[in-house]
Structure 1
């Protein structure tokens, strides 16, 4: 029966002639081939294909699949790849919207017709010589979102389900010599209503295309199950095989022995004292299958990794090998610089980075990943929630905003969606079932509930014993049995705790939390603390791994990372794709500093003479790591030691500090850290996996004493203060510090001004903070000084000149601010800012002062918390020390420019040129501080980092405090109250002085 584009609108037709789903094993002709991972039974068809683009199915060139049709003049298209990243159509980023919404009136279950891009591919190949009984199969590992296949003009078949393999038997259509493989890939079909994931919309053949020879006797499917004794003293490995053709199978467990054949296709072996798999010790056994034909000749060898572990709900809790699990997890879209085209090498680099960050769990949001991801997750050690290709979020708003009954949600209870759902569930399960890293099956994402999804959950339970996950039951609780765990998204930690007071019958996870959009990830410690305090709360998965941004070039050839709308698409959801704890190029963002700290396996508390270690690992003692203790005085290391520890899993122990805090006055830090004794596949020997720091003050800080008194020159419009190396001018007329020269060099390009503003973060924009805070923007830009006999006030005291300016701030009701400068004989200026907000005004974004200098002052050194940016609600992973950077490096390239580069707990900061001439700022005793190449106003006005103006200045902002960055979500969640600036009168004191 020929293929017809009309079947794209048939949600119940999911495939024609597609081979049954099966396990993702590989087969080889010889043992040497499997060691080299190079099977002579496989030929890659990756590379350049001939290509033609059609705006919709009606515009496809008729008959292109015919052997007589000449495609030589067609363009070339690289496979795997998205056509949208190779010059055809455009990428489109949408989140909750369907990409066709408002452009075509398409009813649920119909495929768009007027605009539904079709990618037509042609590849010629010389087939291998097939022996008797052998077959040739083509496998498309990923095609977005439906494909039809022809060989030599013969229709082969049709398949859907973007993210799992589609295999077709080509044998009967082969011809001698060159063969023509033709494929149509349709961007959308009826099932695309179930593929409204929060991601960029692409199409094409985006995963590998491979020819595979099926031997005359071939193991088509392998199903491995492991069962552990209650006390884990032994384990059984049970194997079931499906054999194609006539022949026999034997199975050996490498290094142990041959499996007993209990039926023609089933095998078993008992292992005493098994080496159990876990993320901490991802040990894998290896099964070796030998397949023979009827004549006894070997037709294939198959290696299959096996992880022996027991995971499930025991005593009401999720447990691995008898131990309660906490998911220190992240959601991971399969996305990189080439979109969803990911290589094994790129994926392995991602997993190494996640292991270094102490992440132990990954949710494959919201579709099955490439098969090699699971193989690598087995090897590196991750808990994986394998999620089915389902999300109908674009119809969510019809229930929320348009009062559509939840029973009518898609897929809901509508039987026409069931074939697609069951097909996708089976495709995922059959391919991935043998991977020990997979600990839960997920029925999809954000599609409410209903009998259809319940049927999917029941299917998973019928074929496997792993728990089933589905969050949508939280919104549609008609069938709570759909999920084996309570699962929610972005619920504040306090509300999770409250929920579990009355819901004690299932363990709970947050399948998404800590929405890491822009400068975010504040107060996440609340969740982690709860996970170790409340047994039923077993962790969560950060949203998400990496920004989904596309590398583009502007009209001037400058590269930048683009987000929704940058490709000219509409509708779109702007920068909501920028939620990663890694940037789009998979380099770490500053949030990684906090993620690594919160997820570390040791909770450490440090006292003045001892430290206590709580071991949060399940199976690993602290003795497996080297424990280092470091003593520093005001950022300079004065002692270090290595101390043996042996804190067992789940235990807590206290040790005496091997170093004593000196009696000499000063500020001291003690840092306790744990490091790898031996290198691993993901990190070298000595890599730090956990650390904590405590700060101790000995004696009183002595006030800075000047060497003499400054000279004061009182003029008509200006007041001068000078000493041996400096000369300062204060302007009566313009109301502020007009000039500061140090060693003859002007340090400021414009008067320092009180500042109450920063470029809004993504979270602040989401909860409409700029509208609430706008008066503080006016106050920062347009403070008014009215000269008078007592404004400024000038006096001398304690060998210092004191000059104070009062400003009226244009807020409603009005506010006022006073800035007092106290200058000593060495040119050190102690500044105090007092602000009295108008009654009823809310908290300000920040409170400090903005200094502007020449861009020549581009070197930054500070004694404070770092090394990465940190904020009052995201400073757990920061440590007190002396750090060196450049001003340019302090700017964090979030997708949309916003507040960044701050450091908390700063004692002093120096901003200088390359010769060391510049300014030193000092806290009283501490402050927050940032130094950036652009002002808050320039940053706020730019939509992309590459659009920021050329650098002319360095902007320094000492502050009493900046508002916390928040991060529970990015659509209304504010910072926790304790991370807001107090309302009412505020005062901030700091000092600055020329140096060099």
Structure 2
């Protein structure tokens, strides 16, 4: 597409037909397309297939409504769920991909103005992408964010801006005043929201037209502010004979209901492979649906079921300083800890590689490093990380990272950094065919909250992003999602499944279009995930 824009002598606009397919959890890679489209005026845009899922309301045996698709009515032949490929669900409620579109298609864009350099005030440059007119008066709301919290905010009226024109704005005097910035150490952003200042026929006052999140240079945290005081509450870890963490107690309260194990499997998206058509993969009419898909390769080597062989388990299990006697304390300092190594294969016998764990005592709780060394003969991977289940009663969480919607490596431009809160039941997206959903990437910390008031904060980073990790939490485990064809077939557990990942594979749009770009795939290489687990208050 870019090569055409650079070489063509044709003065007609270039419009893509069906360049992205919105089937299930999809539309990865849109940001790459739009970076090129906005760069060259001859590239006008394209069509996403399509607007709405063509599912129909049906009732199951218990009288519960669900979205039905091909084959659910006894119709033969059929293409199963290949009619469910919209940016919105059949009832027109939006899918998370629509947030990505809203940001990429925004009519106003902003960047820092070069005049900000050497000034005590923040200045931005706003450009209109409108072609013909501006809507009603626009209000610009801005906020200076440090580690997810607003430290300064304001608003101003956006001056009239002609289509295609730009203007420079000063947000307010002394917005970069040194004393104020000294209190905003860490990761900092300038958040901008362009909203309607008056109601119009199609939207109310305050309706957001566009937003930006502009990164400011991060300041190193001072030792006094960044150091975490040792938590006086005791914590204790327990490991199984197989070499996996099976117990994490905070003040005697058990946080886990299943071991923390290595995990590579995700419930396949329809871009990974259309599971409802796996039984027809050898029929000529259905060959297209399975061509060059990742799912058959994953199943052929058995990535959905791993088998572990414990190679070594050396050292002492770390515990809190409050739980140690004087003779034990010295052994827990420095490099002392528990070191575990597994060889991993699939149930089908394919060699996966080596999985190593290191557990030590940190200032406020246990710290762990996980190393994944994969056999080069493996296919590219669905995800690389850990899986466990929380004790019943962990129903809420908050996180600092991208949100509030789900996000993936190749579909995250529309998810901005912030501190978000949700109930576990609110994190999954109910795609018509159950599949991977609810991932949040570039997470800095995650706080898990129990109904009793016990709270656990997880911090860390993986080797793919270098600054954060991926997480998802759901009442439905990967195995249950993988086996189900409709949501009404699922049964919510009374505990939450928690997944902590170095990264997940990108989404792409391979159900009917290009797969995820190579840089969003996870080749069988070496990966590392470092996490800390800290008792936290309910504040």
TM-score by length of 1: 0.46
* Correspondence for 1:931: 473
Please, which of 954, 965, 968 is the counterpart of residue 507 of structure 2? Answer: 965
Distance 2:513 2:340 in 1: 38
Distance 2:263 2:204 in 1: 45
Deviations 1:212-239 (A, max 9, x none): xxxxxxxxxxxxxxxxxxxxxxxxxxxx
Contact 2:228–2:363 (CA under 8 A) maintained in structure 1: no
Deviations 1:806-861 (A, max 9, x none): 111115344111122223364x2222111111123232111111121134211121
Please tell me whether residue 920 in structure 1 is matched to residue 457 in structure 2: yes
**Aligned pair in 2 of structure 1 residues 650, 829: CA closer, same or farther (>3 Å)?**
same
RMSD: 2.5
Please tell me whether residue 699 in structure 1 is matched to residue 246 in structure 2: no
Distance 1:667 1:986 in 2: 25
Map 1:362-381 → 2, pairs under 5 A: none
* Correspondence for 1:259: none
SS at match of 1:520: coil
* Correspondence for 1:809: 344
* Correspondence for 2:296: 771
* Correspondence for 1:786: 310
Map 1:735-750 → 2, pairs under 5 A: 735-750=243-258
* Correspondence for 1:824: 362
Please, which of 23, 26, 29 is the counterpart of residue 520 of structure 1? Answer: 26
Deviations 1:11-67 (A, max 9, x none): xxxxxxxxxxxxxxxxxxxxxxxxxxxxxxxxxxxxxxxxxxxxxxxxxxxxxxxxx
Please, which of 116, 128, 151 is the counterpart of residue 638 of structure 1? Answer: 151
Distance 1:859 1:769 in 2: 34
SS at match of 1:970: coil
SS at match of 1:966: coil
* Correspondence for 1:653: 167
Unaligned runs of 5+ in 2: 117-121, 275-291, 318-330, 462-466
Contact 1:966–1:974 (CA under 8 A) maintained in structure 2: yes
* Correspondence for 1:681: 201
Distance 2:334 2:33 in 1: 52
Quote the offset at 1:611 in angstroms.
Answer: 2.2
SS at match of 1:904: strand
* Correspondence for 1:448: none
Please tell me whether residue 591 in structure 1 is matched to residue 128 in structure 2: no
SS at match of 1:830: strand
* Correspondence for 1:68: none
* Correspondence for 1:31: none
Please tell me whether residue 629 in structure 1 is matched to residue 151 in structure 2: no
Map 1:467-478 → 2, pairs under 5 A: none
Please tell me whether residue 556 in structure 1 is matched to residue 53 in structure 2: no
Contact 2:136–2:197 (CA under 8 A) maintained in structure 1: no
**Aligned pair in 2 of structure 1 residues 978, 809: CA closer, same or farther (>3 Å)?**
same
Contact 2:29–2:411 (CA under 8 A) maintained in structure 1: yes
Please tell me whether residue 942 in structure 1 is matched to residue 465 in structure 2: no
Contact 1:523–1:966 (CA under 8 A) maintained in structure 2: yes
Please tell me whether residue 580 in structure 1 is matched to residue 86 in structure 2: yes
**Aligned pair in 2 of structure 1 residues 737, 776: CA closer, same or farther (>3 Å)?**
farther
SS at match of 1:785: strand
Deviations 1:473-519 (A, max 9, x none): xxxxxxxxxxxxxxxxxxxx55xx43873472633212433111111
Name the count of aligned residue pairs.
482
**Aligned pair in 2 of structure 1 residues 535, 852: CA closer, same or farther (>3 Å)?**
same
Deviations 1:233-252 (A, max 9, x none): xxxxxxxxxxxxxxxxxxxx
Deviations 1:552-577 (A, max 9, x none): 11112221111111111111111111
Distance 1:534 1:633 in 2: 35
SS at match of 1:672: strand
Distance 1:984 1:512 in 2: 34
**Aligned pair in 2 of structure 1 residues 930, 937: CA closer, same or farther (>3 Å)?**
same
Contact 1:623–1:644 (CA under 8 A) maintained in structure 2: no
Deviations 1:66-118 (A, max 9, x none): xxxxxxxxxxxxxxxxxxxxxxxxxxxxxxxxxxxxxxxxxxxxxxxxxxxxx
Contact 2:315–2:336 (CA under 8 A) maintained in structure 1: no
Structure with higher RCO (Cα < 8 A, 6+ apart): 2
SS at match of 2:299: helix
SS at match of 2:313: coil
Unaligned runs of 5+ in 1: 1-492, 709-722
TM-score by length of 2: 0.83
Map 1:524-535 → 2, pairs under 5 A: 524-535=30-41
Contact 2:309–2:344 (CA under 8 A) maintained in structure 1: no
**Aligned pair in 2 of structure 1 residues 632, 535: CA closer, same or farther (>3 Å)?**
closer
Distance 2:380 2:482 in 1: 19
Distance 2:102 2:258 in 1: 41
Quote the offset at 1:764 in angstroms.
Answer: 0.8
Distance 1:682 1:917 in 2: 46
* Correspondence for 2:236: 727
Quote the offset at 1:756 in angstroms.
Answer: 1.6
Contact 1:621–1:649 (CA under 8 A) maintained in structure 2: yes
Contact 2:376–2:524 (CA under 8 A) maintained in structure 1: no
Greater Rg by CA: 1
Quote the offset at 1:617 in angstroms.
Answer: 0.5
Distance 2:341 2:370 in 1: 10
* Correspondence for 2:123: 610
Quote the offset at 1:982 in angstroms.
Answer: 4.6
**Aligned pair in 2 of structure 1 residues 974, 615: CA closer, same or farther (>3 Å)?**
same
Distance 1:532 1:705 in 2: 45
Distance 2:408 2:366 in 1: 26
